Structure formats: structure tokens, C-alpha cells
Amino acid sequence: MKILVTGAAGFIGSHTAERLKAVGHDVIGVDNFSPYYNIQLKELNAKALAEKHIEVLKLDLRTDDLSSKIPENLDYIFHFAAHPGISNTSTFEDYCSNNILGTQRLLEFAESLSQKPFFVNIATSSIYGLEATFPETTTAKPASWYGVTKLAAEQLALAKSREMKLQATSLRLFSVYGPRERPDKLYTRLIDCALNNKPFPLFNGSEKHLRSFTYVQDIVDGIISVIGKEVICNGEIFNLGTETESTTAEGISTVEDILKEKINFDKKPPRAGDQSRTKANIDKARNLLNYNPKTDLRKGLEAQVEWFKKNFK
């Protein structure tokens, strides 16, 4: 099958593109190489994809002419491209234009094709709000610009399904970590601070936060399990993540133990919109997609530490 992956130079998008290629699909990637974080990391990811014969086109979903740059006859679109996370340096316009406008323009492009691709929207547990422990039928209560705009993007995709203009599904991902994790996220930053004697910015109370820390390859397992299950997945939302909960403090301790280094902390006030608890309820994904994440936190972090040392130490 011919598959388009947006945000292909990013963390989870790059891993998904690689896996799709490895199982025999024709994969085309697009990314706008946003400077939200160090572009060198995205270029490193794109280089790794190029070595596996996956082209990543530089393209902005918000402004570029998609029909002139993206080939037709697509079977699937996996839509990762977004303005991520919770950042004090990002504006509402950043989230709105990337997550809502970009998604809408991509949906319009997909709808314009004579062969309509199946659209997989990549969403987030932030849609649930300050606690994300619920099944997919629970009312969304996002508490950040990121969560609000990702909910809007999800509903844009599912609206196309309800209108029977496209087949679409949305996957809500929980606390993904592993090799290629963004430098602003927890574990890459912890590893960097430990190895390079930098203070880690610890938001007050965050060490007690509970998370479904999910290894990236377990997430990719769930993402690609949609293929071949179009009838089951069309119009549906699925949680993807591990049911195992760990505190941020446990994650910090695991990194310190792997590296045999202590991390110094720079205490910060609590961060608005930060989730206090995520625990993936994956009953639906387990039953309908045969989804079963298996990687424990230490094993996943050992792989992430190895990746970091190879590329940045």
C-alpha cells in the first residue's frame, strides 16, 4: 500500500514510517521542520529514514499546495504533524494553526482525491484533561491549548467519517518515550541533564504525577494495527498506551540507576495544564485491535539512553 505519514521527521512519526516500510509498504513522509525544537534532531531522523529509502518532503500543511506536492493514489494517511506539548513560549495561534488549520487542509486534500485514503488521526491523552484514566466514551475535558486544539483536530477527522466523505479513526496516545524523544520531553531531558551535569527543571508536585509511560515501539504496534481493520476502526477512537502506572519520581530514579549518575534539580512553580495522572484504559484497543504493549519502563529507558549516547554524548 502507498501510505503518507505527516510529521515524519518527528519522534513517533519517524518510528511509524520505518515500521510501515519494514513490513512492505510504500511510505512517503512530509514534515515542515518547525523550529519548535532543534531542527538538527529532525534532520537526524530524516536522514535515518532516507537510509531506509523513505523520502521526507519539506511541506507545511497550513500554507503549501498539497495537491502539487503529495502523490495521489494513497491508501492511508497517518497524521502526526502537530504543534506539541505544553510550552510557555508557544502562542494559541501556534497551536491553532498547526493542529486545527493544518489538519483541516490535509482532510480537504484527502477528500479531493479520487481514491479516498483511510485517515488515521494521531491524538493525545491530553484531550481527557488533568486526569486521563478513562474509556473513549468519556466526555473530553482538555485543560491546555494543546489538548483543546488536538480535540478539535480529532473531531474534524471524525466529522468526515460521520459525513461519509472519508473513513477515519483517531488514536489517543499516552506518555510516549524512547529513542528520538523530543529534547523538551521528560526522559531525553533527564538523560541530558544527568550526562552533562545540567540542572533539570522540576515543576513543583510533578514528581508525584502518575503516567502511563509507553515505549514508542509498543505505541507503533497499536498504530499500525489499524491497517486491515478499516470497517472496525472507521469513526472510532482508541486509547493506546500501557496500563502500568509509574510516578515521575520513579522514572527519574530509573534513569539515575541506569546511568549511575545523580540528577540536580531546579525547582519551578507548577505548570498550568499539566496532567496529574494518566493511565491508559485500553480495553477497546485490546479487544478490537489485539493491542498488548509489553515493554517495561527500565528496558525502554535503557534503549533510550543507548540512543542518546550514540547521537549526543
Of the residues 37, 95, 128, 146, which is catalytic? 146
| Mean per-residue pLDDT pooled into runs of 10, the chain (313 residues) | 98 98 98 92 97 97 97 96 87 97 98 98 97 96 96 98 98 98 94 95 85 97 98 98 95 97 86 82 98 97 97 82
Domains identified in the chain and CATH numbers = 2-174+216-240 (3.40.50.720), 186-210+244-279+294-312 (3.90.25.10)
Q: Where are the beta strands (DSSP E) in 55-180?
A: 55-58, 76-79, 118-124, 131-132, 168-173, 176-177
Instruction: Kindly report the average pLDDT of the chain as a whole number.
Output: 95
Grid cell in block for residue 264: 540536580
pLDDT on residue 63: 97
The verdict on whether 36 is a catalytic residue reads no
- Closest residue by Cα to residue 79 from 107, 55, 51: 107
pLDDT on residue 313: 66
pLDDT on residue 59: 97
Return the percent helix, strand and coil in the chain, to nearest 5: 40, 20, 40
Q: Give the percent of the chain with pLDDT over 90.
A: 89
For the chain, how many helices (H) and strands (E)? Answer: 12, 15
pLDDT on residue 302: 98
Condensed to tens digits (0 to 9), the pLDDT of residues 269-310 reads: 877 777 888 999 999 999 999 999 999 999 999 999 999 999
What does each C-alpha distance from 221 to 15, 16, 19, 92, 218 come to in angstroms?
Answer: 10, 9, 9, 32, 5
